[in-house]
């Protein structure tokens, strides 16, 4: 079909009207031009410079991942040790003014029947002092059921000397390394030189003093857990009959169910007790965790600053070398918006390449290495813990920093007077 005819004011046919092509918006044209310039700059640029830039971005991103992963690994190690050696997942204690649970066996049996509870074990504070020769100090002496305690806590697996308690043991005690000392350096507040097979004196809650053979010494990774002594519940009640059937606390191990859910179920099923989760009882470790997180933020900020400076320098050097070329491009009609957009595209490509390479380096190389060779922290061995949230968040921040680092020198370059840019 031909073009429509037009009529003159007097009604006479003026012939077909020529079709006029509508030009795309300027912004759209600038975007296409920026894409063209950016692609050409990447594909025809110096491969060595491109490779080094991507490698630098990859190393910066790997560092961004490494620091939070290390901090998170340390935090998870602290929390894991707290749960496996001190608190369990939940701790059930008396309410109100009561100091002990009068029916420890009944409470423990009731807890074991709650959905989500894998094991429960009662503990009674049976003594408060341990002595050897002329050295003495105040440490908690806990009366426990050896079998039940081992189902909730990992302490029986952390022996450095001797063995753990057995149900029929009498006049036998297991000491933490923080009490025994065992000739270790740096344990000045301990008994210094007590080993398995030695005899120590325990002062029980009624004030009576009894000699006990040390059958084992344990060392948990969490330092706070190493200042306890353990005797069997049968031995404690034989010496202090008032302790029979009582407990100061019952620790609970969950079967993988959310701890808050198990705590709510325990509160509904067991009356007259207070229920605390391990998180509520871990306040003493909050300062350590906060310090780890602060270190991570500081080092992460430094890494981002390095990334921004890297992209800025690479872009600035490239702009300085192409100053006359950019002037000619502007003279033939290429808009400053297109020039700046081309460098933003380059930064995005550099950033994506660096993020991909850095993530592969960390996930396929660094994380497996530290799983085989964990770092030794005062709180225990620490490996890396990388989460999807950390990957995504740091990737987004990395790309934003790369784009900003490229836009600043590019925008400054296109604001140079056209004549000065052409003449260099």
Per-residue pLDDT of the chain (424 residues; tens, 9 = 90+): 454 554 454 545 555 544 444 444 545 456 676 666 667 666 666 677 778 878 888 888 888 888 778 888 888 888 888 889 999 999 999 987 778 999 999 999 999 999 999 999 999 999 999 999 899 999 999 999 999 999 999 999 999 999 999 999 999 999 999 999 999 988 888 999 999 999 999 999 999 999 999 999 999 988 889 999 999 999 999 999 999 999 999 999 999 889 999 999 999 888 888 999 988 877 656 676 777 778 777 877 777 777 677 767 776 776 666 666 666 666 666 777 777 777 777 888 888 888 899 999 999 988 899 888 887 776 667 788 888 888 888 888 888 887 877 777 777 666 665 545 455 5
Partners of 254 in the beta sheet? 117
Q: Please tell me whether residue 394 adopts helix, strand or coil conformation.
A: helix
- CB-CB contact of 218 with 249 (8 Å): no
> What angle, rounded to 10 degrees, do the helices at 286-321 and 388-414 form?
30
The whole-angstrom separation of Cα 70 and Cα 76 is 10
Beta-strand runs (E) in 25-82: none
- pLDDT number for residue 22: 43
Nearest to 385 by CA among 69, 71, 80, 63: 69
**Euclidean distance between CA atoms 334 and 194, whole angstroms:** 84
Kindly tell me the sign of the dihedral angle through the C-alpha atoms of 75, 273, 142, 134.
Answer: positive
Write b or e for each residue in 353-369: b if 16 or more Cβ atoms lie within 10 A of its Cβ, otherwise e. Answer: bbbebbbebbbeebbee
Using CA atoms, how far residue 236 sits from 11, 23, 141, 215, 307, in Å, is 120, 94, 10, 16, 63
What SS3 class is residue 7? strand
Cβ neighbours around 187 below 10 Å, total: 16
Block residue for tokens 């491969």: 47
What residues does each domain of the chain span?
Answer: 30-79+287-423, 96-271
pLDDT at 26: 45
Backbone phi, psi, residue 223, to 5°? -60, -40
% helix, strand, coil for the chain, step of 5: 55, 20, 25
């Amino acid at each position: 079909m031909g073009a429509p005819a037009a009529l003159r004011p007097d009604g006479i046919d003026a012939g077909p009207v020529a079709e006029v092509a509508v030009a795309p918006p300027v912004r759209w044209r600038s975007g296409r031009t920026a894409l063209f310039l950016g692609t050409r700059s990447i594909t025809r640029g110096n491969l060595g410079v491109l490779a080094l830039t991507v490698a630098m971005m990859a190393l910066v991103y790997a560092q961004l991942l490494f620091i939070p992963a290390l901090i998170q690994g340390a935090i998870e190690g602290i929390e894991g040790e707290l749960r496996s050696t001190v608190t369990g997942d939940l701790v059930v204690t008396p309410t109100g003014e009561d100091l002990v649970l009068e029916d420890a066996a009944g409470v423990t049996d009731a807890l074991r029947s709650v959905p989500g509870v894998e094991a429960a074990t009662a503990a009674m504070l049976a003594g408060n002092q341990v002595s050897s020769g002329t050295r003495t100090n105040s440490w908690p002496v806990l009366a426990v059921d050896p079998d039940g305690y081992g189902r909730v806590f990992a302490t029986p697996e952390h022996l450095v000397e001797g063995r753990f308690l057995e149900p029929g043991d009498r006049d036998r005690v297991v000491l933490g390394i923080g009490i025994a000392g065992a000739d270790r350096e740096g344990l000045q507040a301990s008994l210094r030189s007590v080993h398995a097979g030695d005899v120590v004196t325990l002062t029980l809650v009624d004030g009576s003093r009894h000699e006990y053979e040390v059958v084992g010494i344990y060392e948990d990774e969490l330092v706070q857990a190493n200042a306890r002594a353990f005797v069997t519940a049968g031995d404690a009640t034989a010496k202090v009959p008032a302790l029979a059937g009582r407990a100061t606390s019952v620790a609970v191990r969950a079967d993988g169910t959310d701890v808050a859910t198990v705590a709510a179920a325990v509160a509904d099923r067991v009356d007259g007790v207070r229920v605390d989760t391990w998180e509520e009882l871990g306040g003493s470790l909050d300062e350590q965790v906060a310090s780890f997180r602060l270190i991570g933020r500081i080092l992460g900020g430094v890494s981002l600053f390095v990334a921004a400076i890297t992209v800025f320098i690479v872009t600035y050097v490239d702009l300085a070398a192409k100053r006359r070329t950019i002037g000619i491009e502007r003279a033939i009609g290429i808009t400053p918006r297109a020039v700046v957009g081309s460098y933003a595209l380059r930064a995005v490509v550099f950033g994506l390449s660096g993020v991909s390479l850095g993530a592969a380096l960390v996930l396929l190389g660094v994380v497996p290495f530290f799983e085989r060779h964990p770092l030794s922290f005062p709180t225990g061995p620490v490996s890396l813990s990388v989460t999807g949230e950390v990957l995504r968040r740091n990737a987004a921040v990395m790309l934003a920093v790369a784009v900003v680092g490229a836009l600043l020198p590019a925008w400054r370059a296109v604001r140079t007077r056209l004549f000065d840019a052409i003449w260099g």
